[in-house]
Structure 1
Amino acid sequence: MATTVISTHEALRDVVGEASERTARKILGHIDEHARTLIAHSPFCLLATSAPDGSCDVSPRGDPAGSVLVLDDKTLVLADRPGNKLVDSFRNILDNPHAGLLFLIPGMNETLRVNGRATIVADAPFFDDLVVKGKRPRLAIVIEVRELYMHCAKAFLRSSLWQPETWPERAELPTLGCILRDQLNLTATVDQLDADLDHRSATQQY
């Protein structure tokens, strides 16, 4: 069977059809009261950025629920916490400020999607409100909201993401130490690598 490639907007619409009027109307240009509530209860979000050449990056961001600040009905702030120092998201934002966020709440199948323009800041009056466990972030990302809307539950229902009985046994999957040993051809044992990684994760979160 030949591969059918979709290369035009018209061909795409021929396959999927048009969005309903209600779907189009749900896209807001501001943070309403329901979005504020969901953001306040979300401990985890995904930050999507892209470079000028079109290459993309998605970065997980996690903090205690309520750590993402809503400054006003158009502005969000995410603290940056210590990571691998590759700063992929930051480099992309400097060159292309367009960014997307996907907020998740454990046990809730619907997600909140936010698109906007991102700015990196090294200090601001609101940094005091970004302190977690006594640690003040060195950087934060300010998002000027351009689009905000709810995404339906279908992906979570299809994947059964929140159903523990569908989860694989962790012992059946490789540990990060095992993966890094094989990918980087390291000489340390898996147990040594896992112990070191566990220690870093526990002690260098903030």
Structure 2
Amino acid sequence: MSDLHSPYGGLDSGEHLPGSRGEHVLQRLFDTGDKAKRFYDRQVVDHLTDEMREFLARQEMAFVGTADAAGNCDTTFRAGPPGFVRVLGDRTLIYPEFRGNGVLASLGNIMENAHISLLFVDFFEDLVGLHVNGSATITTSYDAERRHGLVDDDRTAPGRRADRWVTVEVEEAYIHCSKHIPRFSKQDRRERGPAGRKPAGEEYFGVPQLRAAGAESRRPGREEVRERTG
């Protein structure tokens, strides 16, 4: 969300509120403006409170939303030991990026569009979430160590080295209430799941098999090869 004046044309009160023009229009249409304003007034801040910083220090996962210059969105998942997302101050946090599938979708979006949203959810103890929206920049490991003293340690990911870091300048932060958040229990990921099921691999959704079948169907048959080479 970004700061905008109320967008209701002649009904604009001049009041400065968080949020997008679209959400304000819908609040007017569905008569939820007073309820939304109470949420803005009570819950939305432009920095990380002490309680938020303590909450982040315990988190082991984050959902990261980015979009490219055209607005095409991507949401991804990041995880690590508690505190793998480091709080550098009440308006700045930073998280590590590791070598993955080589696509670099999130970082590519950040190159075009710095807006970023992070959602942290505590599924295990307090059943509450925290939204953090802001502006992102890509930082090399060398720069992260030189400027912030960040090194690979047990808080980053044991046995893994961060290729780069993403610095987020916080623009707003607010609660995600506990309603409907399920309670999870932690389990060693190396253990087999129900009925001895193995952890999901790259063939789980059938895409490699589908692509292989498509490639096979496009191969010329023997008779066609003979005609071509005849």
Cα shift at 1:17 = 1.4
- Is residue 23 of structure 1 aligned with residue 66 of structure 2? no
- Is residue 111 of structure 1 aligned with residue 129 of structure 2? yes
CA contact (8 A) 1:67 1:130 kept: no
Q: 1:54 aligns with which of 41, 65, 71?
A: 71
Corresponding residue of 1:146: 171
Q: Which structure shows the higher helix fraction?
A: 1
Change in Cα spacing, 1:127 to 1:137, as seen in structure 2 (3 Å) is farther
TM-score, normalized by length of structure 2? 0.66
Cα shift at 1:171 = 7.4
Change in Cα spacing, 1:161 to 1:130, as seen in structure 2 (3 Å) is same
| Stretch of structure 1 that moved more, 168-177 or 94-103 | 168-177
Corresponding residue of 2:150: 128
Q: Superposed, which structure 2 residues align to 1:56-135 within 5 Å?
A: 56-107=73-124, 108-122=126-140, 123-125=143-145, 126=148, 128-131=150-153, 132-135=157-160
Equivalent residue pairs, number: 174
Q: Give the alignment's Cα RMSD to 1 decimal.
A: 2.9
Cα shift at 1:142 = 0.1
Change in Cα spacing, 1:20 to 1:55, as seen in structure 2 (3 Å) is closer
Paired AA for residue 82 in structure 2: A
Residues 84-115 of structure 1 show CA distances to partners (whole Å, capped at 9, x for unaligned) of 11111001001000000001223232100000
TM-score, normalized by length of structure 1? 0.73
Q: Which has the larger radius of gyration?
A: 2
- Is residue 162 of structure 1 aligned with residue 184 of structure 2? yes
Flag structure 2 segments of 5+ consecutive residues without an equivalent.
1-21, 187-192, 214-230
- Is residue 179 of structure 1 aligned with residue 222 of structure 2? no
Residues 155-178 of structure 1 show CA distances to partners (whole Å, capped at 9, x for unaligned) of 31xxx45389xxx95779994434
CA contact (8 A) 2:123 2:183 kept: no
Corresponding residue of 1:189: none
Residues 3-52 of structure 1 show CA distances to partners (whole Å, capped at 9, x for unaligned) of xxxx9954553226123443112101111111011101110001100011
